[in-house]
Chains A and B, each alone.
Chain A
Amino acid sequence: MASEIEKGTKYIPEMAQTEIDDLNKSIKTASLKVIEDNIERMKKAWKNRPQAMEYFDEISNLFGKRQEEIKQQKTAGKKVVGYSCIFAPIEMILAADAIPVRVGSGWYDTAKLGDRIMPVEICPVIRSTVGAKMVSLSPFLELSDAIVMPLTCDGRTKLSEILADYKPIWHMNPPRVKDDPHTLGMWKQEIMVIKEKIEKLTGNKITRKNLKEAIEKMQQATKAFRRLQDLRKGNPVINGRDAMLVNQTSLWDDVERWTQKVNELCDELEKRVEQKEHSTYPDTPRVMLTGTPMIWPDSWKVPNLIEESNPQGLVVVDEQCSGDRILYDPVGVDEWTMSDMLDAISERYLMACTCPCFTSEHGNEDRINWIIDRIKEYKVDGVIYYVVRGCILYAMEYQRIKRVLDKMNIPVYYLDTEYTREDVGQMKTRVEAFLEMLEARMDI
């Protein structure tokens, strides 16, 4: 029996190479256009965009400079470790001198391809990743030597099986309850397993010294990230989309270079704060995004809509694992011993995370607290709760969060959508109505 399974077919049906090439080419061309278009729109909306943003425009091209760089480093002997979700311990990958890249997929066109083998009820992030694999589109997925797959939701669980036909997949089991001391113990074990696997793949031992270096590198990145976030708290000196792009490029860029470039950007923005050079009118309604991850480039349709609608909105902060949650939490090490560093890493990736896959006897209160705090800190006028169809964990948590926000007298709007460009027109009407309401409230 076992042999039958081994010989058995893969999840993804065999496709003719010509078909794969054709699809790859056409989707890639379309995607490059979307990237270009997004950047064009961002430039248009922000007349005096800082010089430092050019770097992020360049690195945002998924098929461009960074892909070539990783290819070169790979031929030089470096390993690439992909990860599907921010539960993966980046510090460990860096410590073993491998390149961490996130392999989520934001292509709308590949989601349709994914429909061929995935049920439509499944979240399009998963379907799109499957579709991207079918036509070998995603450069980072193709370049990965192994993929860390934290099984946070049902979609990712099965996605790991599909990808396992092509790459070594390293599963991680995040516990669904994080308050319990014994679940932290379980998670530490998962981290230790991943550590061994990374060491085996790269052939480099993760030592006290290189792990410390990696942690400090990431702490510097967090520091730069928080510097940028702090600039978004006051009058607008950076548009939401641009800040989101900066944050998201950290998922595939070289950490040190990214940190340096963000600091350059912050230097420029800090001057603008002094000169009161705003990116939009200071009284623009301030919007917070929360919900499903918004993945570059196609999912930019929502922030594009918000910041280009009439009246205009400004995304000041988000609560998404594709955005402000990536780098917000640092690894806090008490004593620089190996075991304390490992403890610190496991705690940072489990306990500080506010993913809706968690629960506790008080519900997922950490996420709610996160949202409440952000609303106060960033003086948010309204929340847009973005959910793609099939992202049930986020969808189910909406009711509770709405109730909390109602009590705070903060309007929240449930924006459900799909990986499709067809609903842009009607979404525009909905978003505009919401923003108009926010503006009216501000006048009172």
Chain B
Amino acid sequence: MLEIIAETLRATIAVALILAGSLAILIWVRNNTRKLSALRLFIQIAAVAVIFLGLIIGPFGLERWSYLGTAPKDITIGKEILGRPYPDGLTVPTFSCYYASGRTATCVIWQLQSYLFPNYGTSSIYLTTGLERLAIAVGLLVVISVIFGRFLCGWICPFGLYMDLLTRLRKALKIRHWTLSDRVNEGLRQARYLIIAAFLILSFLLGMRAIAGVELISESELGRYLEIPFCQICPAKPLFVLVEGALGFMDVDYMLSQTIGDFALTGWYLTSINIVILGVVTVGSFMIRRLWCRICPLGGLIALFSRFGPFKKISLIKLTKVEEKCTKCGICKRVCPPQVTEVYEDKGGDVTVSSCILCFRCVEMCPYEGCLNVEFAGKPIYKSKNWLNEEE
């Protein structure tokens, strides 16, 4: 009986969410003027709800804080699509953290690191081989990058939402943001690729455990933990774990018990480096808009497969500029959260760049009709317009 009531309640919540979402989109389409930021916030929240849907729609008979990898959707998606369990969830290039429970998709960075080493996932729940999983992860990464590009960063990524909420809090407190100099910004932009290279090489080497008979790391718990180097410094991991712990979705005692002996303060769920980085990024992105996005290796990965070489030509989502309509008023440059300057500097045509998170704040704020345009597969889907009718 209780079961039925709970299921009905969940279904009602899900239907209500869908209805609210469609209503919001309808309202926005009708007075499609300056509400893009509001729409984006809504989609970000909806995306977080979908990514952590396992927490909302219930654990399907599994224990609420059961062990990693048993998030319910992972199993069902794997069964439905692949015909066999795919317990790590489908790859999505956003910070849908592996360590938090209830996720329906998993961050591609964790997957790349895990699947790179040959010994991983030999237990019975893995019916796919490491190579297969790696192919699925990379394939999905490429396909999603080509279709959406860094749109995911601006509109889907839960960590992006966290930074945007910090920005909104700062705005509410009437504090002016800080800006980084173009040189520092450029440095951060380049650093992304170094980080990608570093964590891929490290996890590959450490995953091999031994080279020419010399043992690199032992088969211990600590070893397993070091095989996934990036996640141990990623600021998103402690955020989601702590939020879920605070909300009661994860058992705090269990979380803390999963520490690795040698490092008193480090553990599977939280490492001290993690928490320090999260603290720095939190304070930093309170003052500097979208600070992490400027150095985010995940964003770098998406950019690699959407903004360079052959991918640039086939990537579907584009930001274009009509040179004649531009008076170089500089608004696009000033309002850009990750401080992209190319949209302002470039002459016209395709102005999408690798550091652009496609949040379309510049399109929203550009006061010249049709100067900045968002194109999807060659078709304009959103244009800059005279936004004077609305105000925040």
Contacts and interface: CB of A to CB of B under 8 A. Distances in A.
Interface of A: 178-179, 184, 208, 216, 219-220, 222-223, 226, 329-330, 332, 334-340, 343-344, 347-348, 351-352, 354, 366, 369-370, 372-373, 376
A373 B335 CA distance: 24
Given A329-B367, A334-B334, A344-B334, A351 B328 contact: yes
Closest 10 CB pairs of A and B: A352-B329, A223-B388, A332-B331, A373-B324, A334-B335, A347-B330, A351-B330, A337-B176, A369-B324, A339-B176
Interface residues on B, range: 20 to 34
A179 B346 CA distance: 12
24 contacts: A216-B391, A219-B388, A219-B391, A222-B388, A223-B388, A226-B388, A329-B327, A329-B329, A330-B388, A334-B331, A335-B177, A336-B171, A336-B174, A337-B174, A337-B176, A344-B334, A347-B330, A351-B328, A351-B329, A354-B327, A369-B323, A372-B324, A373-B324, A373-B325
Nearest to A337: B176
B335 A332 contact: yes
Contacts of A370: 324, 327
Contacts of A332: 329, 331, 334-335, 365, 367
Given A216-B391, A337-B175, A347-B330, 19 more contacts: A178-B328, A184-B330, A208-B174, A220-B388, A226-B388, A329-B327, A330-B367, A332-B334, A332-B367, A334-B335, A336-B174, A343-B334, A344-B334, A347-B334, A351-B327, A352-B329, A366-B328, A369-B323, A369-B325
Nearest to B348: A369
Contacts of A222: 388
Contacts of A339: 176
Nearest to A347: B330
Interface in B255-307: none
B389 interface: yes
Contacts of A348: 329
Contacts of B174: 208, 336-337
A143 B227 CA distance: 78
A379 B324 CA distance: 15
A352 B334 CA distance: 13
A64 to B, nearest CB: 31
B326 interface: yes
A192 to B, nearest CB: 15
B128 interface: no
Contacts of B326: 366, 369
A352 B323 CA distance: 14
B355 to A, nearest CB: 18
A347 B386 CA distance: 18
A346 B331 CA distance: 11
Interface string B328-367: 1111001100000000000000000000000000000101
A335 B289 CA distance: 12
Interface string B367-392: 10000000000000000001011011
B343 to A, nearest CB: 14
A351 B331 CA distance: 9
A206 B335 CA distance: 23
Contacts of B175: 337
B164 to A, nearest CB: 13
